[in-house]
Structure 1
Amino acid sequence: MRSLSLVRSALICALFCLFSCKESQEKESVTSTSTDSVPTVDTRPEEQALPVNDSVSTSDPISSIKGEFTRINAAKLTKKSYTYQCDELMKIDYYYEGKNVVKAIVDYGTVGDHYQRSEFYYKDGKLFFFYDFVEGGPACEGCDMNLEQRYYVKDDLVIRYIKNGATEKCKNCSFSQISTPYRALKAATTQDFKTAFCS
């Protein structure tokens, strides 16, 4: 009788172990099936994926220009402002990163019936972006007299021109040392604003 009780206990124990193992295996397979549908990140350093868009693409010049534009506008820069007289009182603000001018804003003020402002962006002494805004002009009823122009520049050549939000073919497609953005840059050193802007 005692041996029968021992056999019964052993049998119950074996059945319990068998069901416990089977249940554990089923839970593992369900867990692995559910994680297969969810993307997981491998944390092993030698196989870890690089983050997407972690740097500006150097093969795409527009992305590089936009990246440098954003960087300059987020940086802590030193500002120097000057006023000068042409037909009207004008103002120019230079923004320095160290000793280098990286941005210049020329406020031409209101001349006659229109207002104009230009922004020039430089990297290593070279123009890479030019923004020009003109508001007003000859009076006309119901006219929208705003003009916004954006020039994306590489090696002094315009690689994209946007006029009032639409990409168009540029009319002035290159810049030289005698063009306004470079005269503005030179005037940061010479402070001869009349030669740069009034002639």
Structure 2
Amino acid sequence: MLNTLANHGFLPHNGRDITLDKIKSAFSDGINMGDDIAIGTFTPGLAANPNPNADYIDLDMLNKHNVIEHDGSMSRRDEYFDPTNPFDAGTFNQFLSYFGNAQTFDVTSISNARARHIQQMSLLNPTMNVTEAREGTSAGECAFMLAVWGSPDNPVAKRSYFEYFFRNERFPVVLGWSPTDTALTVPTLLQIAQDITDASPAGVPLTFAPKAAS
């Protein structure tokens, strides 16, 4: 999302010297997100800055495992296979396959896709590590997508918006998308995320630990 905000000019195009105030403005102007979400995004990013006294981030600082991207990503290969963290069409297509031909994604369908996608990736990655905290992060990302490509009041995302965003790192304005009138805040995001976790399919694990070396 931060790269997309930079691509549209809501954040510096060069991805550098991004302060909390810039994140707040970008989230508000670009996607109608509350300051609390901006703070929650900026704070872990700031911890990745090698300068302990810094009050800014550069986007390339976030290209570290478990800062933003993590095992079981919707659109990136696990670090075990590719630590450079680019968009991977194969991984994204696998995630989408769990929706069948559905043209909208809701809490139930994205919960099913998320759980089965991560489980499938765990079969390939012996170092897969998804803790309870990371499971919550994954649910939060899905909640974020439903709220942005749908709305906080009605978290049902259009598939076309969802796909366009990931494949192009741009907002799907050309498809008719515009930011929701209702601002997304942390309490609403957490509730949608909890609903996603609660709707997870029975018998499919949500957490994984690295396999012991044989």
TM-score (norm 2): 0.25
Structure with more helix by fraction: 2
Structure with more strand by fraction: 1
Higher relative contact order (CA 8 A, sep 6+): 2
User: If you compute each CA radius of gyration, which structure gives the higher value, 1 or 2?
Assistant: 1
